[in-house]
Amino acid sequence: MDFLESQICDLDAEILRKLQPYQQQFELLQTIPGIKADAAASILAEIGSDMSQFPTAAHLASWAGVCPGNNESAGKQRNGKARKGNAWLRGTLSQSAWAAANTKNSSYKSRYRRLAARRGKKRAVVALVHALLRTSYYVLRRATPYQELGANYLDERRREALIRYHTKRLHELSVSA
C-alpha cells in the first residue's frame, strides 16, 4: 500500500511539473464551480490552453461530443443522442458537473435543479457538462476568472415574467375553486 501511495505522489508531482508552463490557465479553470485541480489538469491535457483553434464555444462542444443532439423531422423535435467525442474529457466534465450541481449558492446548482425536475437527473448533468465546457472555453479564451452569477441569477433576469405567470396561475386556481 505504501508503494502504491508513493507512486501516486510521484505521478501527481510529475503532472504538476508538466503543468508549470500553463499555471495561469490551470488556476483560472479552478475558479469554475465543480472543477478542482485534477479536473483542471485533465481538461488542459485534453483541449489545450490555446482556444484559437476553436472559433466558438459551440465548435469546442461539438468536438468534445457534449453538444445536444438534433433530431427533427417535419418540424417536430425529438430527443437526439449526443455525438461521439473525447471520452476522457466527457468523463472528467461529467464528474465536475455532478460536483457543480452540489455546490452551494451556484448558478449551476439552480440550473441543475430546474432541468432535473423537467428532464431527469442524467439529462440535467449532460446539460451541465455542456455549460461547464462552454464556461471553460470563455475562461481560457478571455484569460479571466469565472464570475459567479449567483443561484437566483436566472430568476432575477425573468422576474417580471415570473410574477405575471404566477399571478395568472393563482387567479386560475382561485376561479376554478
The model's pTM: 0.81
How far is 177 from 165, CA to CA, in rounded Å?
18
Torsion of CA 11, 84, 40, 28, to 10 degrees: 150
Spatial CA neighbour of 54 closest among 81, 27, 89: 89
At residue 116, does pLDDT exceed 70?
Answer: yes
At residue 177, does pLDDT exceed 70?
Answer: no
Show the cell assigned to 161: 415574467
Q: What is the pLDDT of residues 66-96, one digit of tens each?
A: 887 777 777 787 776 767 888 899 999 999 9
Mean pLDDT in residue range 111-120: 91
